[in-house]
Structure 1
Amino acid sequence: MGLADKARNAGEELAGRAKEAAGKVTGNEELEAEGRAQQAKADLKQAGENVKDAFGA
């Protein structure tokens, strides 16, 4: 289950990067901010997965 979660988090981060880039290209600050927020959310989830791995849960 950990590997699937990590892959899902990586996909979410990638989607966030795409949104941020699209926002920059189109000048849509809201989309750009949404992309950054999505990346931060994925990073936070990934950190949680790393903690789980460290404690063997």
Structure 2
Amino acid sequence: MSGTEKAKAHVEQAEGKAEEIVGRAVGNERMTAEGHADQFKGNARRAKEDVKDTFRKGR
């Protein structure tokens, strides 16, 4: 996995989790949903990089 892509995925996941927690604490459903979406984007980025790594190793 590319180091920068891995870092981006981790940052997106962490920021999303923080935003979700803050949104729940203040009762802001939109912030909670946006945080959840950011976590999903981070997970998707990581999955994409994992697939790329799998194909690189298979060669």
Q: TM-score range by the shorter chain?
A: over 0.9
Structure 2 length-normalised TM: 0.90
Query: 5+ residue gaps in structure 2?
Result: none
Q: Distance in 2 between matches of 1:41 and 1:14?
A: 11
Structure 1 length-normalised TM: 0.93
Stretches of 4+ moved more than 2 A in 1? none
Partner of 2:22: 22
RMSD value over aligned CA atoms? 1.5
The answer to whether 1:4 aligns with 2:8 is no
Q: Distance in 2 between matches of 1:56 and 1:3?
A: 15
- Provide the secondary structure at the position in 2 that maps to 1:14: helix
- Identical amino acids, percent of aligned pairs: 40
